[in-house]
Structures are given as C-alpha cells and as structure tokens.
Amino acid sequence: MTACTWREVLVFTVGLISGTGCSLTSKMLLTATSIGKTGEPELFEDPLFQSWVMFVAMTCALPIHFAYQWYQARVFTEERRALRQGMVAVSELKHAEMPLWTYFILAIPSCFDLTATVLCMFGLLYISASVYQLLRGACIVFVAIMKHYLLKDRLKAYNWLGVLFLTVAITLVGLTSVLGAPPEEGNEKNPLVGVLLILCGAFVQSLQYAFEEKMMTGEVSAPPLLVIGMEGLWGTVICTFVLYPLAFVLPGNDHGRLEDPANTWAMIKNSPTVQVILVWYFIFIFLYNTFGVLVTYLLNSVWHAILDNFRPCTVWATDLFIYYYVAMGAFGEPWTQWSFLELGGLAGLLLGTAT
C-alpha cells in the first residue's frame, strides 16, 4: 500500500476542493440563462464548449512544465561545472531527456478524457450535480478491474467486497435519479439517458487513469505536468478541428445545429453571470486536473478514482447549501422525497471506497 505523507494529503485535499468547485460550476453553467444570437433568452446548454474550456485550461500546465524543465537544465549545467571543479560525484548528475514519442502518445489519454468528458457533460444535462458525481464513482469499479486484470496489480478479497458495495451504491443512486425526476409536461429529458451516458463516461475515464499511471510509472516516467498539459493540447486540437466542425454541420436543437459556437459566444457576451461562472470553472478545472494527475503520480490510479468518490459528499452538501442559503432556489439542488435513497447510495459509496 502506498504511504501517505503531508504532501500526498495536501495534494488530495486541493484536488477534492477544486473538483467540487468544478462539478458545481459546470452544472451552474448548464442551468444559467443568457440572451442568444436571436435576442431570445436561452439556457447555456453547451457541453462541447465546456469540454473545450477544460482542455484549454489543462494546456496551461505546459508553460509551467517547460519553465520547471528549464530550471532543472540550469541546475544540471551548474552541477556539471561543479564536477569539472571536483565538487560533486558523477553519480549525482541526473537529467533525463524526454523521448519525442512521449509527446505524441499522450494523445491517447487525451482522447479518453475527451470522450469521457463529452459523455458526462451531456449526461449532466439530464440529472443533478450530486447524482452526476455519485454515478462517476463507478470509475473506481472499472479502475479496480483494470488494475487486477490489465496492470496485474492483484486485488485482495476485501477489495472485491468494496467493489460490490460500490456497485450497490451506484444502483441506488441511479434509481434516485430515475424515480425522483419531476413529472413536468413537455420535459423530454429522460434521466435514465443521463445515467447511462455518465456510466459510459466513467468507464472511459478509468481507461484514462490506468493509462496515465502506466505512463508516469513505466520505463519512461512522464512528469505529471507534461501529462496534463499534453492531454490538454491534444484535446484542444481535436475539439477545435474535429468535434466543433462536426457539431456545426450535424443537426440539433441549438439553432438547427448540434452546438452553435456563434450562439455560445453571444450568450457569453450577453451575460455577466455566465462570464463569472466561466472564469471560476476555468480555475477549478485547471486545479482539479493538475492535482488529480499528481494524485495518480504520488499514489496510484485507484487513489485518483477514490478522489472522485469523495467528491459526491462535498458536491451534494455544497449544492444543498447553495440552494437554500445562497441562491434561494436559483442554483443548487433541493431535498426531495428520494434524497434518502441517494443518501443511502452515498453511504454505500463511502463504505465501498473505505473497503
């Protein structure tokens, strides 16, 4: 078992706080209203744009990585100068060059992240932020299976008991979303669709976590900031030059398109509220993805999935607080008759994670 020091605890805590903010601001964006390009008020339901913003934020890790690499190279040069003066031993000099292929192979986890994010963003349109976050707990089930069978990191019997608890919890949470859906006339958003989309996203996300762990602990150990930055760069390129053109030509509910970037830009310009939420979303998504990869690097991919499983507690508690004490019903999530079922799912999720 990986030992935890104050450094690992700090990284995990920052990841938890920023991850909570990420989920809440993401849902707030999807439920915010602004004036579109036609002059009519619309919901800011643009999941592809949120995915694009996420990858741009992740790309910001690259300048930090290269600045740190420059600092290390400078220290290495000074050590070589000291060696010539007989001040240090040869064995102390360490400055490994990163192979060029590493920058390209990191497109693979970027594709996983892109697919998982788009699936989850579309799923979030159908369900609440707390249920969304609880369902993403399925990721640890998939990660555990992959670590056992693909990474050959064998799980013990009590670990499989935890997986069973998690499966039961996810089932309860899925029922909460389906049974607790308000019967509004003309509401075409079936929460079951959201549940299935997020479960598919959790599976793809588990592939990303396992791949990242392999990249950072294999023969060529890729630095965490390089991993997150290159994933962001590749994701930005794919979103901009592949997904957005497809979304523009495919038919949909956004002014006849699957997602209309012109309408998205109009709604951003016309709403200070959307602008503020978007800035906070950018900050939270950068911090969460950066510290999430650091969790995988310092601990392992299971701990990254555990981080996601702790987020439902903070997301739901914050959502309830915002609804009743901050936004007065404008944002957040109310307590319903099915919330006890969700609470039971949350307890099962935490029990399974602890096991």
User: Along the 355 residues of the chain, how does pLDDT read in single tens digits?
Assistant: 455 677 778 888 888 899 889 988 988 898 899 999 999 999 998 989 998 999 999 999 999 888 888 877 776 665 555 555 554 444 444 445 677 788 888 889 889 988 998 888 888 888 877 777 778 777 878 877 877 777 667 777 777 777 787 777 777 777 766 666 554 444 566 788 888 898 899 899 888 877 877 777 666 677 888 888 998 999 999 999 999 999 888 888 888 898 999 999 999 999 999 999 999 999 999 998 888 777 777 766 666 667 766 777 788 888 888 888 887 777 777 887 777 777 777 777 666 666 6
For 77-95, write each residue's pLDDT tens digit: 655 555 555 544 444 444 4
- Calpha distance 260→238 (Å, rounded): 17
pTM for the complete prediction?
Answer: 0.75
- Calpha distance 250→329 (Å, rounded): 35
- The per-residue pLDDT for 292 is 79
Q: Which residues of 202-231 are buried (b: 16+ CB within 10 A; e: fewer)?
A: bbbbbbbbbbbbebbeeeeebbbbbbbbbb
- The per-residue pLDDT for 186 is 46
- Which residues does 149 contact at the CB level (< 8 Å), separation at least 6? none
- Calpha distance 272→347 (Å, rounded): 38
- The per-residue pLDDT for 88 is 46
